[in-house]
Structure 1
Amino acid sequence: MIAFREVDDADPALVFSPLVRGMEKTFAWVDEHGGISLTPSRAFKRVFVHWAAAEFDWPGHTEADLFAVNKVLNEPDFAPLMVLHDLMIAMKLGRHYKGEFRPTKAGQALTGHPGRIFGTVVPFFLFRINHASMSRFEDAPILANWDVFLNVLNAETEDGATGGHLRRVLFGAPETGPLPRYDEVMGQLYIQVLRPLCWAGLLQQERAEAGYRSEEAMFVKTPLWRAALRLETDGKVKGATRH
């Protein structure tokens, strides 16, 4: 059974959550401007997307990261913003009205309360969103056993673990052959489990120096994991080795 502890608005661990920070920044924009202008296809307009890229400071999707491959930014170019937009609509925290995105009363009630944002949005984001839909493969299998994932990660990422190690612990070693091949299981583990946990702020991803392969990236629990989660394996987790 996965249980979330209530996180106080003043808890410094909330700084680790890009999702909470992005939603707070979005509500701050609305407070100042009255709404977020939408394109005819109901995406956020570029002026907000450019502002969000700078303000959200989303790991792996910073302003520098995004403009390194784009001259201008549309909402689909900033994947976390697109997810955040869809999430707020799905949870009825915001709505589209007369060409603008505006918070609903439920969304307004979260303004200024990052702990409440975390407690309301993160469980929905992790457990109700189909993360497999973000895969490049239409028939990607859905990995759904969050109870197993979180309890295993609770122990394995205490001192940090590579994506490849977590793949082997959860699913066994990948098949080998004479030529390198894409490990779809590793890809889906990253897309459906590890990346959502990083975006929620429960894990932190440290990129490998050699590149961006998720097998080589290091994943470690953040202070927010300990502040927010109550898991069956808590009693078996030893304190991290500090150097």
Structure 2
Amino acid sequence: MIEFHAPAADAPELALSPLHRAAMLTLQHLVETGPIGLTPNYAMKRYFVTWAAEAFQWPGYLPEDLYAINKVLNEHDFPPLYALHDLLLSAKLVRRRKGHLHITKFGKDLLAHPGSLWIALAQHLLLASGHDDMLDVEWVSVLSAVNVEAHEGVSQTDFCRRLMGVEEGDYHLRSLIYVHVLRPLCWLGLLHDAGESRSERFFTKTALWPVALTFEDQPPLPPVTRH
């Protein structure tokens, strides 16, 4: 059995989650500045995307990274913001009304309780989001496997082979596992991508992992030796 736990509101481990930080900043912006304007296609308007890129400081999507390939930023040019927008809607933390994005009462409540906000984000990102038809994710099994495989660190290649039986040359399935399994866990702050390049991804569990997750049906894992 796996249990999710809400970290304490002042838990320093929450800072390891770029998704949690971005959600907090977005909800605070809605409270302090007001509704966010939307385009006719329901995307966040450029002024907010520009602000978010600077405010979030999202690893791998820093402003200099984004502007290196875009002269101006639209929501789809900033993938984490695009995902966050959908996540906030699905978790009912925000709603669309009259061409703007508004914070809900539930969103205001969770803004005051950061640990509970992290739980809501985790549940909707991992359990309520859709997946590619070729990748059926059973999160109980996946998280149990990650708990063991990433205890001392695991490469993407080894993880894909051990968990899904995916060979190194099957780039499509490797990409799906990264997008739907490994990247969400990194965005939640549960895993850290210590690889030096996209072709050499190496994942380790973060300090947030034992704070937020317990595995009652697994024996205790040995202490991790760091060199």
TM above 0.5, yes or no, is yes
Contact 2:156 2:201 in 1 (8 A): yes
Q: Give the distance between the partners of 1:51 and 1:97, measured in 2 at CA.
A: 21
The one-letter amino acid paired with 2:147 is: N
Residue 148 of structure 2 is aligned to residue 164 of structure 1 = no
Residue 136 of structure 1 corresponds to: none
CA contact (8 A) 2:190 2:209 kept: yes
Query: 1:234, CA displacement in angstroms?
Result: 4.9
What SS is found at the alignment partner of 2:192?
A: strand
1:237 aligned to 214, 221, 226, which one? 221
Is the contact between residue 135 and residue 177 of structure 2 (CA under 8 Å) also seen in structure 1?
A: no
* Residues 241 and 46 of structure 1: CA distance in aligned 2, closer, same or farther (over 3 Å): same
Q: Hey, what's the Cα distance between the residues in 2 that align with 1:126 and 1:190? A: 13
TM superposition shift of 1:194: 0.3
The total of aligned residue pairs comes to 227
SS at match of 1:7: coil
Equivalent residue for 2:134? 141
Correspondence 1:226 to 2:214 = no
Q: Secondary structure at the match of 2:110?
A: coil
The percent identity for this pair of structures is 40
| Corresponding position of 1:51 | 51
Q: Distance in 2 between matches of 1:75 and 1:173?
A: 33
Partner Cα separation in structure 2 for residue 219 and residue 131 of structure 1: 21
Q: Which residue of 1 aligns with 2:176?
A: 188
Q: Distance in 2 between matches of 1:188 and 1:94?
A: 28
**Which residue in 2 is equivalent to 1:38?**
38
Residues 1:155 and 2:148 are matched in the alignment:
yes
How far, CA to CA, are the matches of 2:39 and 2:95 in structure 1? 14
Give deviations 1:113-153, integer Å, cap 9, x for gaps. 22111122211211110143xxxxxxx41232111111111
Instruction: Please give the per-residue CA displacement for 1:62-90, whole angstroms capped at 9, x wherever unaligned.
Output: 22221111111100111111111111112
TM-score, normalising length from structure 2?
0.93
Distance 1:233 1:242 in 2: 26
Q: Distance in 2 between matches of 1:114 and 1:48?
A: 22
Q: TM-score, normalised by structure 1?
A: 0.88
Residue 178 of structure 1 is matched in structure 2 by none
Q: Where do 1:1-243 residues align within 5 Å?
A: 1-132=1-132, 140-172=133-165, 174=167, 181-208=169-196, 211-213=197-199, 216-232=200-216, 234-243=218-227
Where structure 1 has 5 or more consecutive residues not aligned to the other structure, the ranges are 133-139, 176-180
* Distance in 1 separating the partners of 2:149 and 2:170: 24
Deviation of the 1:206 alpha carbon: 2.0
Aligned alpha-carbon RMSD (Å) = 1.6
CA contact (8 A) 1:154 1:233 kept: no
**Counterpart AA for 1:189:** I
Q: Which runs of 4+ in 1 moved over 6 A?
A: none
